[in-house]
Amino acid sequence: MYPTNGSSQEKVLSLRYHGRPVFLAVPFSEEIVELGLKPALAIKLYQEGVLTLEKAARFAGISIETLIERLGSLGIPVVSYSPEDLNQELKQR
């Protein structure tokens, strides 16, 4: 299930014309059936760093809290710090 193994067949493909999206290809998956298209797409775009947590929740039509719960149940981290960033954040407190 989620997270995927990262093959190109599992990527969301967006084609643009003059910088504006004109086509979006979404691989059909079990997650789309279970979650619905908009939430599954929002989660995938969040996971790829295209959408922020807030924008992904808004796109999916759910609250940020609900999105965080779904991400957690799928094993997708909500906060991702590099070791250096985490050390810096902890030193500031």
Each residue of 25-78: pLDDT tens digit?
A: 766 777 767 778 888 889 988 988 889 999 999 999 999 999 999 999 989 999
Is the pTM of the predicted complex or chain greater than 0.95?
no
Q: Do the domain assignments include residue 3?
A: no
Contacts of 15 (CB under 8 A, 6+ apart): 21, 22, 23, 24, 25
Q: For 23-85, what is the HEC assignment?
A: EEECCCCHHHHHHCHHHHHHHHHHHCCCCCHHHHHHHHCCCHHHHHHHHHHCCCCCCCCCHHH
Q: How many domains does the chain have?
A: 1
Chain center to CA of 59: 11
- For residue 1, is it within any domain? no
- Is residue 85 in a domain? yes
Query: Which residue range is the domain that position 41 belongs to?
Result: 8-91
Is residue 72 a part of any domain in this protein?
yes
DSSP state of 18: T
